Structure 1
Amino acid sequence: MPGTLIIITAPSGAGKTTLVRGLLERDSQIQLSVSYTTREPRAGEAHGCDYHFVDIAEFRELRDRGEFLEWAEVHGNYYATSKVWLKEQIAAGRDILLEIDWQGAQQVRKAFPDAVGVFVLPPSLEELEARLRGRGTDSDDVIARRLLGARGEMRHIGEFDYVILNNELRCAVDDLVAVVRASRLRYPNQHLRHLHYFDFLEQD
């Protein structure tokens, strides 16, 4: 009875992390996949909870051993998803939420073609820039690179199943919760999870 894999992607600053936090508070049945990264932790982030923070040498060692399902370099930092852990969780029937960039999403969907893809959009590029500057953590050069990258990322929006416009946070969280619940109601999922309800389909 496999679980459901939800992939959520967004440009940096679109509010993806806040949306994910809202989803996890409202849906206890879904678990967040903890990615590996070589970037420095932001304020309030914890190792093993938000990310597995590793240095470049350790990251490359894990990658070369085949530990990652996918990996990518984003804004000068490396990110990756644990292959073994993710497959074990899905096979055990757990619903997993994976925060990832569009490149990683392409790689993951090759291994999990039934994964549900969600793309989060900011209200505008002007609002995206305001949010990035509001963090107070990035230089002007980094913000400029992120804005340029955001335009490229958003060109891949057609590769995803659902699009959420993060204009008003409460509504955006409602939308994400609705997507997750709807994904569980797809026929293959319902059939596998509730076989006894579908016995009549096998009868003449």
Structure 2
Amino acid sequence: ESMSTHDPDGKLLAIHSVVVRDEYRRQGIATTMLNHYVKTIEEEDQNGTIESIVLLAKAHLLGFYVNCGFRVNRPSPIVHGQELWYELEKKKMKTVRSLPLASESWFCKTEQFKRPFPEVKPHLEAHKKWVEDLRREGNCITSGYRVDSKGRPGGGGLMFLAAESYDDAYETVLQDPLVANDCVDWELNGWIGQVGDVQMR
């Protein structure tokens, strides 16, 4: 009965089920489907009507949904069968800003790995998620790496971010998993565009 009404202008989008046939499970298909669906919703909701994506799940599936970016809010008061259900939520990504606010300036962090790549790799993945989370929160930031004339990496990392002051940018960089885990030698500078400006997709 809780699903008997539909408000096309509602702020919550409820996912009923994510289902994969038994013989195709544990191949990453459910993760791919769910992430693609969430990305499509975020791209198509141009008016920003949807604020959160919500769903119910049993305890043995909580890890799957958390790994897909959902947060466990609480046990659900809804009763269906004998097992306890949990409410999960994923806040919709805010519009990604491509330019600083009037009160912000550009800053640029350059870096070089100082530990063997196998040691750095897990922190690099955490770095990517950290940047994605900041963008999801509405921060103006982008991260990548430099390559040579043949497209081979090795030139080091490069990250642009907008902040109201050098100190604010510095505090943000200190939270970077690559920095916090002492994986890189890095430097932070302000960046002033004299011709044109930087925009991010």
Whether these two folds match at TM > 0.5 is no
Normalized per residue, the structure richer in strand is 2
Normalized per residue, the structure richer in helix is 1
Instruction: Please indicate the TM-score interval, normalised by the length of the shorter structure.
Output: 0.3 to 0.5
Relative to the length of structure 1, the TM-score reads 0.32
Point out which structure has higher relative CO (alpha carbons under 8 A, 6+ apart): 1
Which has the higher Rg, Structure 1 or Structure 2? 2
